[in-house]
Amino acid sequence: MTAPKSGAVVFAKNVERLATFYRETMALSVAHEEPGLVVLASESLELVVHAIPAAIAATITIDDPPRAIEDASVKLFFPVDDFAAARVAAAKHGGRVHGLEKEWEWRGIRACDGVDPEGNVIQIRKAAN
């Protein structure tokens, strides 16, 4: 029996696009996939990208570029090896990570916020040097 991992569920209007963003930007692997659901994983985390019901999704407009949902109660953060590479991957897959001028250090980590393709605020982190 496999022990469960810590994780989160992100509800998405476009499951494929959002799963691709997280897979490519945060270096997660596809652990499971079925219509309306993709489970992404690392050694220590599972991120479930789950479709928003069609009737609700039809009422949601996603700006291009995505507008940050600043009043959400949760912000996901992910470790990355290279901030520059994460910025490139995020932009390529419909999101963004803010520039160098918005990075900060705290408790031995370097961090920077951004947004995924649907406007969810995210954060990348790495060890401060």
Number of domains comprising the chain: 1
pLDDT at 1: 64
- CATH label of the domain that carries residue 64: 3.10.180.10
pLDDT at 62: 94
Relative orientation angle of helices 83-92 and 15-25, to the nearest 10 degrees: 160
Any domain includes 93: yes
pLDDT at 3: 78
Show pLDDT as tens, one digit a residue, over the chain (129 residues): 677 889 999 999 999 999 999 999 999 999 999 999 999 999 999 999 999 999 999 999 999 999 999 898 899 999 999 999 999 999 999 999 999 999 999 999 999 999 999 999 999 999 997
The pTM is what? 0.92
pLDDT at 4: 83
| Residues 6 or more apart whose Cβ sits within 8 Å of residue 8 | 47, 48, 74, 76
Domain that holds residue 43: 6-127
Report how far residue 22's alpha carbon sits from residue 33's, in angstroms, rounded to the nearest whole number: 14
Any domain includes 96: yes
φ, ψ dihedrals at 100, nearest 5°: -50, -35
Buried b (16+ CB within 10 A) or exposed e, 84-118: eebbebbeebbbbbeeeeebeeeeeeebbbbbbbb
Contact 65, 119 (CB under 8 A): no
Which 3 state secondary structure label does DSSP give 9? Answer: strand
Amino acid at 48: V
Any domain includes 14: yes
Any domain includes 1: no
pLDDT at 5: 86
| Neighbour-count burial of 35, counting CB atoms closer than 10 A to its CB (0-12 exposed, 13-18 middle, 19+ buried) | exposed
pLDDT at 30: 98
